[in-house]
Amino acid sequence: MGRVKFSVSSVLLLVLFNLTVVYSASAQTPQRPLRPSPAEDIPVIPFMEGWYANQDGSVTVSFGYHNRNREIVRVPIGENNRIEPATLGGMQPEYYFPGRHHGVFGVTIPAAMNGETVWWHITSAGEELKVPGERGSTAYELDRNPRPQGSVQPEIWFAGGERGTGPEGVVAAVIQTVRVGEPLTLEIQTNDPSMRDRTDPRFTKPLDTNVSWYMHQGPAEVSFSEHPSSPFSESRGMSVLGLVPVADTRMAVTGGEGPARIIATFSEPGDYMIRARLDNWNASDSDGLDQCCWSNAYQPVRVIR
């Protein structure tokens, strides 16, 4: 049975930014533009991926990040990892995996707060980075429309709960409870509603989707193991198109419909959040770089002694 263990290390210094990142740092030592980047001690960079206009007048902002360290970095939610206004916070990750990760969570700005700007702040290496999210430039506007061959955001949900799509996804209504060191089976339900042309040789059979599991929030490490019904994919640890990281916990859902399960074991008591990301990137018109097509599900877990 395969096992994956996550560990946490600190971060110290910033090198890369995009147009949406705002610096609040003091003067820095000049850097040579072509100098190779170090493989450690680099701060995590927050990204605003874009925004969705919702039918009820609200706006959902998609956020991601870039961790150029070789190790997982933890920044606990609080003063160093916060959303403003605070009433819209709480879903940002505490664990940052190496590489560029898109659409890790979403923040929905209610219609009553139309025009409000959301800020995500991350402080590491003694330096704060913050990125804004709002209904703004159409260049950042995202949509949920079908792609050229019919791909849409897949549906993800917990048994008995509502279905969710997109980066904001769905949060389990029930908090799972388990003791330290005891294995806990986590399960999500999936469906890919994409309407594809079955006369096209590429789509004569339903395509498999993929589920990747991530430690999202929590005070200590968690170990993930394969569930007998959901073996890890051989492609784990690689990347999609050489750009989008593939988690070691990635598994396939045959035909794009059905459950995905994993076994989680927690080392310390406390409140945790596990994220499951469902994607249909096996389709020719879908990948993780154009903000289509994946959906998140978040499972709160309370660990006791």
Collapsing DSSP to helix, strand or coil, 112 comes out as helix
Please compute the mean of the pLDDT values over residues 269-291 and round it to a whole number.
94
Residue 188 pLDDT exceeds 80: yes
| pLDDT tens-digit series, residues 138-169 | 999 999 999 999 999 999 999 999 999 999 99
Residue 236 pLDDT exceeds 80: no
The model's confidence at residue 8, banded by pLDDT at 50, 70 and 90, is very low
User: 5 phi and psi, to 5 degrees?
Assistant: -120, 130
> What pLDDT is recorded for position 6?
45
Give the domain ranges of the chain.
Answer: 6-142, 155-304
Distance (Å, rounded) from C-alpha 57 to C-alpha 61?
13
Architecture of the domain spanning 155-304: Sandwich (2.60)
What one-character DSSP code corresponds to residue 290?
Answer: T
User: 139 phi and psi, to 5 degrees?
Assistant: -65, -25
Distance (Å, rounded) from C-alpha 280 to C-alpha 292?
9
Cβ neighbours of residue 284 closer than 8 Å, sequence gap 6 or more:
149, 202
Please compute the mean of the pLDDT values over residues 204-223 and round it to a whole number.
96
Collapsing DSSP to helix, strand or coil, 111 comes out as helix
Tokens representing 49 are 């991926």
Residue 23 pLDDT exceeds 60: no
> What pLDDT is recorded for position 13?
32
With tokens 């989680």, the residue in question is: 264
| pLDDT tens-digit series, residues 30-51 | 455 555 656 678 899 999 999 9
Q: What is the mean pLDDT of the chain?
A: 88
The predicted model scores a pTM of: 0.86
The model's confidence at residue 25, banded by pLDDT at 50, 70 and 90, is very low
